[in-house]
């Protein structure tokens, strides 16, 4: 009969509506919203009532391989100063499909010779298409894809052209958002160093 599907659909909506209140009572004192435990249940197969994510108070965790805007990594040296991993080689800018990376290279003020670190580094995040090629091709693990997707702003030119300061984050941040990747890279680095050391010994 014409309209049965519509009535069934409204019935499902009504069921969810009522179940939301029943579930609210069931969770009384524990908080059905805004905490990880309840979000997991509401996003699971046993969810009852409203199961939408109450964004921005609640957020779904993103998987490790999630990628948004790239960021630059720096090491923190023993004396507390920062050491950029980036050598301003320019490979990321070359491979970037929409060409949204600009690098300002450094030169030694006395000799004029290039210094392997950027004076500045810009990414136009409105043009970046989040492909991750810059991170894939960087030979120094100096640029990685970030998880931070809350970057909305009113003024594109003031807020969406990220400079080196805005792009730079410590290696520990990278390790926290991509622990598996970080571990694999560090193991590979340690292995390479060990091979080098062994070769030096032999020589
Ligand atoms: S981020 Fe990597 S690829 Fe890009 S300039 Fe720096 S070192 Fe080279
Ligand atoms: S993620 Fe892709 S588009 Fe964005 S800066 Fe890197 S290479 Fe360019």
Q: Which one of the ligands is nearest to 117 CA?
A: 1
Q: Which one of the ligands is nearest to 72 CA?
A: 1
Q: How far apart are CA 88 and CA 138, in angstroms?
A: 10
Contact status, residue 128 vs residue 161, Cβ threshold 8 Å: no
Contact status, residue 146 vs residue 70, Cβ threshold 8 Å: yes
Q: What pLDDT is attached to residue 16?
A: 92
> Measured in angstroms, how far is the CA atom of residue 24 from the centroid of ligand 2?
44
Pocket lining: 91 vs ligand 1, CB cutoff 6 Å: yes
Q: What pLDDT is attached to residue 50?
A: 84
What is the atom index within ligand 2 of the atom nearest the CA of 95? 7
Instruction: Using 70 as the pLDDT threshold, list the residues of the chain that sit under it.
Output: 1
Q: What pLDDT is attached to residue 202?
A: 85
Pocket lining: 34 vs ligand 1, CB cutoff 6 Å: no
Pocket lining: 98 vs ligand 1, CB cutoff 6 Å: no
Phi, psi dihedral angles at 126 (to 5 degrees): -80, -20
């Amino acid at each position: 009969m014409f309209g049965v599907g519509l009535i069934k659909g409204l019935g499902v909506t009504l069921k969810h509506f009522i179940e939301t209140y029943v579930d609210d009572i069931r969770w009384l004192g524990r908080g059905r919203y805004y905490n990880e435990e309840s979000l997991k249940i509401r996003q699971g197969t046993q969810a009852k009532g409203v199961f939408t994510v109450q964004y921005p108070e609640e957020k779904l965790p993103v998987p490790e391989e999630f990628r948004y805007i790239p960021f630059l990594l720096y090491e923190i040296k023993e004396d507390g100063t920062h050491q950029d991993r980036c050598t301003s080689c320019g490979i990321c800018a070359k491979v970037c499909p929409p060409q949204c990376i600009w690098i300002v290279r450094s030169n030694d003020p006395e000799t004029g010779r290039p210094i392997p670190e950027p004076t500045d580094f810009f990414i136009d995040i409105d043009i970046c298409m989040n492909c991750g090629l810059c991170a894939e091709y960087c030979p120094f693990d100096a640029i990685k894809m970030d998880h931070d997707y809350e970057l909305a702003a009113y003024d594109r030119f003031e807020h969406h052209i990220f400079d080196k300061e805005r792009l730079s984050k410590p290696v520990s941040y990278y390790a926290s958002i991509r622990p598996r990747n970080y571990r694999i890279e560090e193991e590979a680095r340690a292995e390479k160093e060990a091979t080098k050391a062994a070769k030096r010994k032999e020589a």
